[in-house]
Structure 1
């Protein structure tokens, strides 16, 4: 008992500290100091959650910025043993894991490049326009990719290209602390601003 009693006391003590006190303390501090980030960096519009600053969405309309491709998938509704493509599925974060010799990767890159050419976007093609991110959920694209889409969006919304470029420039985020990472554009934030611009400027969304 002289050995068992202190072992049990320490087990109970550290279970309480690491399993109850610490999680509640960290959660409480997060809710007080960083409430938005602690709750998922949610984006709320008119009282309704429409997304997160941390998770991309699969916009396909010509009136919106398009995100980079996503390799996430979900269970095939007709055969649960198989999967089907489901871009930006937050429940299945993953990269494509396809190597440079993959035929599937080559076909996907070729298809993405062909789509780029069909909509008349300028060359050279930005890398993030045809490649997926490691998570499949990246909410950002490069400024080059965003600016290249300005003519398409302007035509669809019946606005000027300069108006679209100003929205993109205003939403461009710089490097973290001025050093880390690359400049980036949050797709959902820009698309929100584009909708507001359409209302304020008299522009009409065209599907």
Structure 2
């Protein structure tokens, strides 16, 4: 590590990092990714532009850090649902439906999940980044899909695509069609989840 890098690393305070992330999140949501500049983020965080670059490098990395910070709070719920509702040997339909219901119940009402959806919609083109926090929840589910395929429970040579189809038929369809916070919406959400699971199984079994 060079002397310059050591100076920069010593200047990376957790307080300033958090201030930059808070400022960036607010600006991305209010103005969108493209219209938000590093200058604006630095001004809102009350730090220098150099400080922003020292912590994150560029705007795309700032955006990724903002999304990762929100995603980390949701990962535990998805991990528990995968491990407890989709164990080996469980009836596939019952397990997938229990998984879908548990994830929906745990995440749909969450302000963190709302933030994640909004940030995903305003950010740069989505890219699959293996190992990133942003994809960690999906990767857990993809691995379980792969185990189902290996056991012959579903038929696919592309577990990632199978996982995406399941998510689209259940969670995304429910969120794009309904507002889970409205009174009586959860009955309709559950109908969509049931239909989505059955449609997925017809396609993959």
TM-score (normalizing by structure 2): 0.25
Structure having the higher helix fraction is 2
The structure that is strand-richer by fraction is: 1
What TM-score results when the alignment is normalised by the length of structure 1? 0.25
